[in-house]
A and B are shown apart, each in its own frame.
Chain A
């Protein structure tokens, strides 16, 4: 199934409020899904016989932000964080990219990281991918069974793939910069 048809199918199933955007001219056509609807959409995509996306290739996050104030005018995006899901169906041999866009911070003042519902109950591998995304990009996956850091040490501070991340000067006596 091509991306346009899939988009139409999702609109009829979930409505415009859940399927908030799409881009079919990108190298990998993508469909944007509202944060609250991602688990339902993911479950539908996996189990519906027209889609059968049984394989989660990759789950990752991208932080759209330009830390340099002088370059903000030239920056092509509004500041936000995207969680990107790449899906494949082994049975039907088709692919799609699903995106969820959230603000960079749930609470700007306290730097609380944004929340996205976890899809671990649908694809088991999402467990580790979401842990990595939480660790490096800083997205809080709600209902995740075990949301701990996976690559960085447990007591690490901050999320290194955030664009405004500052490398620590010192970690347990080891000099940074």
Chain B
């Protein structure tokens, strides 16, 4: 039926609105840090979106050129501050690749165990913050309740709660602790005596036993929630071609249907850590997805993260079983003054947010000649413009949130 002048809807076509420039950020709460989006909108429709980054630029690469490689490790966990462990690991591995160092089995087991715990913590924040972007507050509280216990465990491990600097060149700074007081959060949740002492591994086991059944609750709360599905499914569709061309990695890439995970498909120096572990690489499409879901949309990216938590739990359990049998020490010594060879190495590792690359150029000095951190979020954020243009203003938090960016890593 064509519209006639009498039809009240015709006014929609008659009244023209002006284009408007809207600044979103850099302090907007749903931009996950200091991201500024400059929008050209026509009413509620976005015609153009330009991300402006760099508000958190701390010259990490320039600093890296003036420090010995173990000294640069603390700067890496301040890049992606939600997954410091994984960042430390990526940096340490890149240097080990450059100098041709092999770490003992025990250090490898510790690295897998702790890095996967870090992945759980990071994805929990990703889940909680995404719920917050979409206007639901409670998943955020649940996510932080769980993450708190991981942070307590990490505190027992290395003394820090956020910026760990735990992995260093040659292994880890400490072995896993033996007897620890039970983390207060864990004691409260599992109704144990808060003065209880147990081994660190027992505490991890207790935490995983507690977390595993809760994942189903998050699915009820968010993943299968009709409001959540309406806000995410079929929106922000990132095609496989666009994702690859824009260099997207991690859950963003796998949400678009590319079955690629560096833990399985990366370079041998990294994949040998995961050799012998049984885990699945999660990638879209999903058979159990609601019917509104399209391959590569917000919901797929979110669901990849949720399922990766389950896989990470599986990996942590295997690493815990392997740890007592592992040979060797937790660290091989690496001298701060050891000179890097005149060579260069680029290595990507699978961080929770994607493939984080470190490129180290040595030049016969302890300090790298060039220390480069290639950020995964940097690439993931670059798809904002093609994803958001033509959509509604209110969909921006849903789309940008689903990319799960951390500005500290983008700006370095």
**A-to-B contact residues, CB < 8 Å:** 26-28, 54-58, 60, 62-64, 75-77, 84, 86, 90, 93, 95, 97, 123-125, 127-129, 132, 136, 149-153, 160-161
Contacts and interface: CB of A to CB of B under 8 A. Distances in A.
Closest 5 CB pairs of A and B: A125-B247, A151-B54, A58-B374, A124-B245, A27-B345
B161 to A, nearest CB: 28
Interface in B197-220: none
B contact patch SS: mixed
Given A57-B355, A86-B359, A136-B61, A125 B245 contact: yes
Interface stretch (B305-313, B363-371, B395-403): B363-371
B151 interface: no
Contacts of B374: 57-58, 60
Given A76-B342, A161-B61, A123 B370 contact: no
B interface bracket (residues with beta carbon within 8 Å of A): 35 or more
Interface string B333-362: 000000000111110100000010101010
A2 to B, nearest CB: 14
A56 B247 CA distance: 6
B62 A125 contact: no
29 contacts: A26-B344, A27-B97, A27-B100, A27-B345, A28-B345, A28-B346, A57-B247, A57-B348, A57-B355, A57-B374, A58-B346, A58-B374, A60-B359, A63-B370, A64-B369, A76-B363, A84-B359, A86-B357, A90-B258, A123-B245, A123-B247, A124-B382, A125-B379, A128-B378, A132-B378, A136-B61, A150-B53, A152-B57, A153-B54
A76 B364 contact: yes
Given A90-B258, A93-B265, A124-B382, A151 B57 contact: yes
Interface of B: 53-54, 57, 59, 61-62, 65, 97-98, 100, 242, 244-247, 258, 260, 265, 267, 342-346, 348, 355, 357, 359, 361, 363-364, 369-370, 372, 374, 378-379, 382, 411-412
Contacts of A125: 245-247, 379, 382
B344 A27 contact: yes
Which of A28, A77, A93, A95 has the most chain B CB within a 10 Å cutoff? A28
Contacts of B346: 28, 57-58, 84, 86, 97
Contacts of A84: 346, 359
A64 B265 CA distance: 32
Contacts of B242: 124
A151 B344 CA distance: 25
